[in-house]
Amino acid sequence: MKLPCFHLYRQNKRRHNGRHRKFKIQVTAELTKTTPSSIVRAMPDVWTASHKFTAESWLFWLTWVAPCVLKGHLPTEHYNHHLLFSKIIKRVTSRELTEADVDELDVWTRQWHTEYERLYYRYKYSRLSAYPLTIHHLIHMAGDTRACGPLARVWEFVTERIMGLVALSVTSRRFPFSQLANTLRYTGQMRMIAIRYGLEDKLNFFPQHRNYNKIGRGEQHFPDIDETTILISPYQRAYKWSDKHRLLAAIYFKTWLDLSARDVDIAKKLKKRVKRRGKFRVKGEQAVTRSVYGMESVLEDSSRDSSFVRLELYPDENASDIDTPDVPFHQVFDGQLLYIVKVTLKKSNSIVNRKEHTAILGKWTSPKR
């Protein structure tokens, strides 16, 4: 079921000035790029591509996005009506419900239904199209929950996911349904055998097709610099980085090599053009971390900006006093990875560096508050 007040907003969009419409489009389009994948899949813009929304997308948009985006742009009674709808969705999708919760849900659904008739249907035959059958079904939500349990126990999300995988196995044009039925039966039998005899690892239905310890196409590995980091394209051979970033790299080399030279003197020994990469991954792992530079060519309306990272450090609490022992403490920072570079500090007598050193560095920036 789609959000009634969302349709009301679309119908009355001419009443809003261009600034408000542009604001809504930007908010809903940019939101999905920074939402973690563990919360919801990447969503297209609800204004221009709502036909691409799945049930999961609508669930997230209705309960978490719409209350913020629609605030101040809907009449108060319509906005409060949607907030009640969001409360109903959150209560219905809860994995555990008490009898008191279900009783409260029954009151909410009947109140929402009554207000919907007054606000949208208005008891007019000419507006009957605004009263689909799904509106009436909400009244029975509490009774169905008492009879069948929480919605999370009976919904079809799991079935839809596995059917998408099973459909890929159908290759027969003459007997597609027979092949589909056999696939479901054989898969179910093998799952039961795996659970019964503890063979989940050996009877893996979705084996890993690639060995992620090996270097693939478009990847580079420098084991003499970093044994675990694998750099991935896009790749820029001669990237001119800023003097400020070059100075930060000089501070890193100074701390790493315990050099006594000044930061600016070390920075002068670093090249003004370096090799820049857009992505990297850890050897043996499938997950790829992208930078802002790596997302430039793929970031679209329905793509997720995965350049946001979490940095964990263990600095010395007594770093300001060299006479006290080291006391590491845990710090967590959230920020955005701009790019990855391979930097070489050549040997030089002026900065007392007797040997050439190379490092793989990432430029990280904290979000604006």
Spatial distance between the Cα atoms of 93 and 86, rounded to a whole number of angstroms: 11
pLDDT at 128: 87
Using alpha carbons, select from 59, 62, 65 the residue that is nearest to residue 29. Answer: 65
Q: What is the tens place of the pLDDT at every residue in 18-29?
A: 444 444 545 565
**Alpha carbons 24 and 19: distance in angstroms, whole number:** 9
Residue 84 has a pLDDT of: 95
pLDDT band per the 50, 70, 90 thresholds, residue 298: low
Name the band, by pLDDT with cuts 50, 70 and 90, for residue 6: very low
Alpha helices (H) in the chain, listed in sequence order: 4-11, 18-34, 55-60, 66-69, 76-92, 99-116, 133-137, 141-148, 157-167, 176-197, 243-257, 263-268, 292-295
Contacts of 169 (CB under 8 A, 6+ apart): 179, 180, 183
Average per-residue pLDDT in the chain? Answer: 82
pLDDT at site 74: 86
Reported as a single tens digit per residue, the pLDDT across 224-263 is: 888 899 999 888 989 999 999 999 999 999 988 888 889 9
Residues 112/5, Cβ–Cβ less than 8 Å: no
Residue 316 has a pLDDT of: 84
Q: Enumerate the β-bridge partners of residue 361.
A: 341
Q: Single out the residue of 106, 100, 65 nearest to residue 88, CA to CA.
A: 106
Q: What is the mean pLDDT of residues 105-126?
A: 92
pLDDT at 26: 52
Res 206: pLDDT: 60
Q: Which residues contact 335 (CB under 8 A, 6 or more apart)?
A: 308, 309, 311, 364, 365, 366, 367
Choose between 163 and 118: higher pLDDT: 118
> Could you tell me which of 299, 289, 300 has the C-alpha nearest to residue 364?
289
Short-list 280, 333, 328, CA closest to 311: 333
Quote the pLDDT of residue 14: 42
pLDDT of residue 296: 79
Q: Are 153 and 121 in contact (CB under 8 A)?
A: no
Indicate the helix (H) or strand (E) that contains 273: strand 273-282
Q: pLDDT at position 20, please? A: 47
Residue type, 64: W
Q: What is the mean pLDDT of residues 308-316?
A: 84
pLDDT of 16 over the 50 cut: no
Mean pLDDT, range 179-186, rounded to an integer: 86
Position 112: which residue type? W
More confident residue, 300 or 40: 40
Distance CA 86, CA 92 (A): 10
Type of residue numbered 277: R
Domain ranges within the chain, ordered by starting residue: 4-153, 157-197, 219-365
What is the three-class DSSP state of 56? helix
Q: In whole angstroms, give the CA distance from residue 236 to residue 341.
A: 9
- Find the mean pLDDT for residues 309-318: 84
Quote the CA–CA distance of 285 and 216 in Å, as a whole number: 12
